[in-house]
Amino acid sequence: MSAAVMTYDRNVGRWEPNARGRLERAALELYLERGYEQTTVTEIASRAGLTQRTFFRHFADKCEVLFAGSKWLQELIVSTLSSAPDSAAPIDAVCAALQAAGVAIQEGGDQARQRQAVIDANPDLQERELIKLARIAAAIAVALRERGVADPAASLTAEAGIAVFKIAFGRWIIQDGGADLPELIKASFEELKTVTAGS
pLDDT in tens, 45-58: 999 999 999 999 99
Give how far the C-alpha of residue 35 lies from the chain's centroid of Cα atoms, to the nearest Å: 20
pTM of the model: 0.84
Ranges of each domain in the chain: 19-65, 69-197
Confidence class of residue 15 from pLDDT cuts 50, 70 and 90? very low
Question: What's the mean pLDDT when you consider all of the chain?
Answer: 88
SS (H, E, C) 104-134: HHHHCCHHHHHHHHHHHCCHHHHHHHHHHHH
Closest CA to 107 of 69, 67, 141: 69
Query: Rounded to an integer, what distance in angstroms lies between the CA atom of residue 96 and that of residue 29?
Result: 33
Task: Tell which CATH architecture fits domain 19-65.
Answer: Orthogonal Bundle (1.10)
- pLDDT tens-digit readout, 67-83: 988 999 999 999 999 99
pLDDT higher at 142 or 6: 142
Superfamily per CATH, domain 69-197: Tetracycline Repressor, domain 2 (1.10.357.10)
